[in-house]
Structure 1
Amino acid sequence: MAEPRPGTARGLYTISVAARMAGVAPPSLRSYEERGLVAPARTEGGTRMYSNDDIARLRRVVELAAQGVNLAGIGRILELEEENTRLRDGPPGNG
């Protein structure tokens, strides 16, 4: 995955807040996590904490799902988008 911007990868939002921000129900977020589409941080007590990066990724998942892409396809698209970003940006230190 691309290098996160400072402060964007830290878990800030509980599942209910993240669900509202992404426009989906909390069970959908749990399903996305089970399928590896998002990996929120966890507190010591096990509470999911979603970062700004996670919210952006969830919004992309929602966008692709609205276009009729199934969850397996969404996972592959996200992988390819991340690979494309890595290739475009090149190795660290070349900027």
Structure 2
Amino acid sequence: MPRPETGNRFDDDDYPAYTVGAAAEMIGTTPAFLRALGEAKLIKPLRSEGGHRRYSRYQLRIAARARELVDEGTPIESACRIIILEDQLEEAQRINEELRAANPPQT
């Protein structure tokens, strides 16, 4: 019986491909640190059918940024807030750029 076409999920930044152990190892931290990021609502891992946490590459980039800030001495709650604000700023800049491109100044 042929398997359904799934595409290449590992190229999808949002595909929850990594277990908590693998994710922690990839970014050089502990599973407890990843759970703390979830408790702080910075990242919300998806759950496998068995209830295990699964992380995407996008979430791992966010977690790695949090780890950088914490390693520099920033409290985890503050690191999470900084990352959220950085993300909001990036999104606002992207929207602003799109609006400027769609509505060039008239002279």
Same fold flag (TM > 0.5): yes
Asked which structure has the greater CA Rg, the reply is: 2
Q: Quick one: percent identity of the two aligned structures?
A: 30
The alpha carbon displacement at 1:37 in A equals 2.0
- Are 2:5 and 1:12 equivalent residues in the alignment? no
Which residue does 1:53 correspond to in 2?
Answer: 58
Unaligned runs of 5+ in 2: 1-10, 102-107
Give the structure, 1 or 2, with the largest relative contact order (CA under 8 Å, sep 6 or more).
1
Indicate the residue corresponding to 1:74 in structure 2. 79
Give the unaligned 5+ runs of structure 1. 1-5
* Root mean square deviation, CA, Å: 1.7
Q: 1:35 aligns with which of 30, 33, 40?
A: 40
Match of 2:6 in 1: none
Q: Which structure 1 residue ranges, 4+ long, deviate > 6 Å from structure 2? A: none
> Equivalent residue of 1:49, what SS?
strand
Instruction: State the AA in 2 paired with 1:85.
Output: E
Matching residue of 1:21: 26
Match of 2:89 in 1: 84
Give the CA deviation at 1:80: 0.8
- How many residue pairs align between the two structures? 89
How far apart are 1:27 and its partner, in Å? 1.4
Structure 2 residue aligned with 1:44, among 42, 49, 58?
49
Could you tell which deviates more after superposition, 74-83 or 9-18?
Answer: 74-83
* Residue pair 2:42, 2:84 contacting (<8 A) in 1 also: no
TM-score normalized by structure 1?
0.84
Quick check: 2:19–2:53 contact (8 Å CA) kept in 1?
yes
Residue aligning to 2:5: none
- Give the whole-Å Cα distance in 2 for the aligned partners of 1:28 and 1:75: 12
Shift of 1:44: 2.2
